[in-house]
Amino acid sequence: MLKCSELFANYGSVAALKGISIEVQSGEIVAVIGSNGAGKTTLINSILGFVKPHKGTVIFEGQDITNIPAHKTTNLGISVVPEAREVFYSLTVKENLRMGLKKEIGKVKQQELEDRLVHLFDTFPRLKERINQQAGTLSGGEQQMLVISRALISNPKLLLLDEPSLGLAPIIVNEIFEIIKTLKKEGITIVLVEQIANKALSVADKAYVIENGKIVMSGSASELKENKDIAKAYLGV
Amino acid sequence: MEEALASLVQAILSGLAIGCLYTLIALGYNLTYVVNGTVNMGQGQLVMIGAMLMVTFTTFLDLPFFIALILVGLILGILGILLEVISVRKFVQDKTSVNWVLSTLAVGIILQDLALFIWGPEETRLVSPVGEGMFEFLGAGIYWKELMMIPAVGVFLLLLMLFYLKSHWGLWLRATADNKVATNLNGVNSNYTVAIAFGLSALLAGLAGGLITPIYAVFASMGLSLGLKAIAVAIVAGLNNAKGIVICGLGLGIVEVLVAMYISPGFREMIVYIVVILILFIKPNGLFGTKETIKV
Ligand SMILES: Nc1ncnc2c1ncn2[C@@H]1O[C@H](COP(=O)(O)OP(=O)(O)O)[C@@H](O)[C@H]1O
Ligand SMILES: [Mg+2]
């Protein structure tokens, strides 16, 4: 479904990606694990078209999307939960969710929107109570739930999650990983970027470990869980 | 006593009429400011182009007043989009750059010279669509052509508000104003919405220019003072506060007429700008403006 080949990306003269290749099959959860500054967010942004790789290709469902800007790639069935969350603070929860409909916003009928909201509220009940509240008034955890819902409301084929647990209380982190498991059951394909390897590996099918803009290890999640080096580097063992 | 009251009522009504036009122009600054942090410094010249086109459409093409007005609005809307692409987009890529001030001023001056070339330096005034009759009220008389500004602008502002708050286009504008990165990550090109904001802003300038034709002399250099007054309104109210701009725009119209009536017409602008400086001295963010707070 998604194939990144030999991606190189720079910020000015700083190389952030030094030849990254990853492959994601339909229905899989693929974890990308790495410490701070490894290049995980740059990889996500390169897929989205927010960062322009100077070498390499990104193929999504057979289409070359390497040089397609983010506002277009996100209309191809790719949704993102960005590391910085990027909530529309001044808009209401409902307006944030409507933004998640992307270019479809004019086509989705009122009833259809209500149906999708009801479906989301099954998983995110707290958003229902806050539907007309300004998003800026939500707690950090609630904002993350909002951003995940906003990413899901368009029924994406591919969901990119950039450190969804960052800065959240452990209980919320657990909640988020439970949600990721539910999403997997619904058949949605996910790229999950994380620093916390054990959490990520517990939900992923496959994982890549990146360090300094390079992939240093990859394999099935169960293989990597057994791997002593990973345990040392990322599980804090 | 009664005469004094009558002339006060009259002053307030004509002040409201012209104040409506200031409001319309000033809201144009607000629309682009919240979305992009920029304003079109040539807004006054767009009002002038609107007025000139209005004269052409109604006198040479014989179009009915309100049809011509809508047409003028649409043409100016397209002009505003072009203006954003030509003189704003490339000039704001560096956040600290103020090149857009010069580039939009420049476009305004170019438009003014073009208008001088096309329409000549003469003043014209349009025949009023509602005649030259007066409306009598509490012993006061006010021209219908002045009074009609109030409902006309009222309707336009209502439509603008519905568009801004209810349509998905309005949502896109508000989203862009809030967070450009998030807007692009949700499938909406923020370049495109910024251009729409400039289009809307120019549309308002065009409507104001069209509406002004029966009550003000129309000439190629009329834009500067209107543009300045409207930006004064916007800054005094707070560039990010639309409601405040409506209040200040109407207020300016009334104050101007009162000063002209009770003090001297010659002091009108001077006193207005003295008040502007005083207000900003005391309230740097404007009367209703809020300081941009860093969002967490
Ligand atoms: N906007 C930027 N400008 C310059 N350097 C950047 C920028 N964003 C990231 N970097 C650098 O690129 C490298 C990879 O960063 P990033 O992709 O954010 O890592 P991660 O998401 O894994 O923490 C880091 O060395 C970081 O300092
Ligand atoms: Mg990151």
Read off the pLDDT of each residue in B86-106 and give the average, rounded to a whole number.
90
Of A82, A90, A136, the CB nearest to B185: A82
Tell me the pLDDT of chain A (237 aa) as tens digits.
Answer: 999 999 999 999 999 999 999 999 999 999 999 999 999 999 999 999 999 999 999 999 999 999 999 999 999 999 999 999 999 999 999 999 999 999 999 999 999 999 999 999 999 999 999 999 999 999 999 999 999 999 999 999 999 999 999 999 999 999 999 999 999 999 899 999 999 888 899 999 999 999 999 999 999 988 888 876 666 666 544
Task: Give the separation between CA B145 and CA B135, rounded to whole angstroms.
Answer: 10
Residue A140, classed as helix, strand or coil, is helix
Query: What is the distance between the terminal CA atoms of chain B, rounded to a whole angstrom?
Result: 58
pLDDT value of residue A223: 86
Put simply, the chain B residues between 67 and 86 with a CB less than 8 A from any chain A CB are none
Amino acid at site A28: E
pTM (2 d.p.): 0.92
**Which residues contact residue A155 at a Cβ distance below 8 angstroms, ignoring those fewer than 6 apart?**
A116
Task: Answer whether B72's CB lies under 8 Å from B53's CB.
Answer: yes
Identify which of A171, A236, A227, A215 has the alpha carbon closest to the alpha carbon of residue A33.
Answer: A215
**Which residues contact residue A175 at a Cβ distance below 8 angstroms, ignoring those fewer than 6 apart?**
A141
pLDDT confidence tier of residue B134, bands split at 50, 70 and 90: confident
pLDDT value of residue A231: 62
| A70 CB within 8 Å of a chain B CB | yes
- CB pair distance less than 8 Å for A150 and B186: yes
- CB pair distance less than 8 Å for A90 and B177: yes
Predicted ipTM > 0.90: yes
Residue B296 lies in a domain: no
Read off the pLDDT of each residue in B192-210 and give the average, rounded to a whole number.
97
Residue B144 lies in a domain: yes
Residue B285 lies in a domain: no
Burial class of residue B114 in the structure, from the number of CB atoms within 10 Å of its CB (0-12 exposed, 13-18 middle, 19+ buried): middle
Q: Whose CA is nearest to atom 18 of ligand 1?
A: A41
Amino acid at site A85: R
Task: Answer whether B14's CB lies under 8 Å from B257's CB.
Answer: yes
**pLDDT tens digits, residue range B222-232?**
999 999 999 99
Report the domain count for chain B: 1
Task: Answer whether B45's CB lies under 8 Å from B111's CB.
Answer: yes
pLDDT confidence tier of residue B250, bands split at 50, 70 and 90: very high
Residue B184 lies in a domain: yes
Residue B203 lies in a domain: yes
Q: Where are the beta strands (DSSP E) in chain A?
A: 2-11, 14-24, 29-33, 55-60, 63-64, 78-81, 158-162, 189-194, 206-211, 214-220
Identify which of B19, B16, B21, B10 has the alpha carbon closest to the alpha carbon of residue B261.
Answer: B10
The domains located in chain A, with CATH, are 1-77+158-164+188-237 (3.40.50.300)
Task: Answer whether A125's CB lies under 8 Å from A44's CB.
Answer: no
Residue in chain A nearest B169 by alpha carbon: A106
Domain span at B166: 2-221
Of B174, B189, B295, the CB nearest to A91: B174
